[in-house]
Amino acid sequence: MEEKIAVYPGSFDPITYGHLDIIKRAVKIFDKIIVAVAHNYDKQSLFTPEEKIEMITEVVKGYPTVSVDTFSGLLMEYMKKAKATVALRGLRATSDFEYEYHMAAMNRSLDDEIDTLFMMTGKDYFFISSRTIKEVASLGGAVAGLVPENVARKLKQKFPQRQKG
């Protein structure tokens, strides 16, 4: 039987425990998961694609079926080349839904052989987003427990004077 390959795409600026929770659960469903960091030229990122890859690789190192990659251009084109049939997305709240619904519909119109699978974010992580993590870290708040340790360390380096926790 053919391998079931899922791509988990995103900005991952940076990866959080919310993302990791989705990855851990998806490991039980798919033969292979590619965490695909989008290289968006129009989106302002705190971390470079290289830094993101390094952080994610460290975080998923205990999961042999998970690999990490970057892509630019259309997700559907990247997925076709990777022979992946499922795009994985986490949903935190109904506020995520509209954006995700439009994106899934657009992707399906581009390639109807690829499906988007939504997983509800774990109950302990529904309030975490990369955007709020960066805001809290930049203002000196503690992010330990919300992001993996290596990510918390990297955030400290990005915001050296203000970061406490």
Q: Report the residue from 29, 74, 93, 139 that binds ligand PNS according to the rule CB under 6 A.
A: 74
Closest distance between ligand PNS and the C-beta of residue 82, in Å? Answer: 13
- Catalytic residue annotation: 19, 43, 92, 130
Query: Does 128 engage in binding with ligand PNS (CB under 6 A)?
Result: no
Q: From the CB of 37, what's the least distance to ligand PNS, in Å? A: 8
Report long-range pairs for 59-64 (Cβ below 8 Å, ≥24 apart): 59/15, 59/20, 59/148, 59/150, 59/151, 60/20, 60/23, 60/35, 63/23, 63/24, 63/27, 63/33
| Interaction between residue 10 and ligand PNS (CB under 6 A) | yes
Comparing CB distances to ligand PNS, the nearer of 28 and 43 is 43
Question: Which residue's CB is nearer to ligand PNS, number 11 or number 67?
Answer: 11
Report in angstroms how near the CB of residue 73 gets to ligand PNS at its nearest: 7
| Binding residues among 81-110 for ligand PNS as defined by CB under 6 A | 103, 106-107
When asked if residue 11 is in the footprint of ligand PNS (CB under 6 A), the reply is yes
**Contact call for residue 38 and ligand PNS (CB under 6 A):** yes
Shortest distance in whole angstroms from residue 123 CB to ligand PNS = 20
Q: Which residues bind ligand PNS (CB under 6 A)?
A: 9-11, 38, 74-75, 103, 106-107
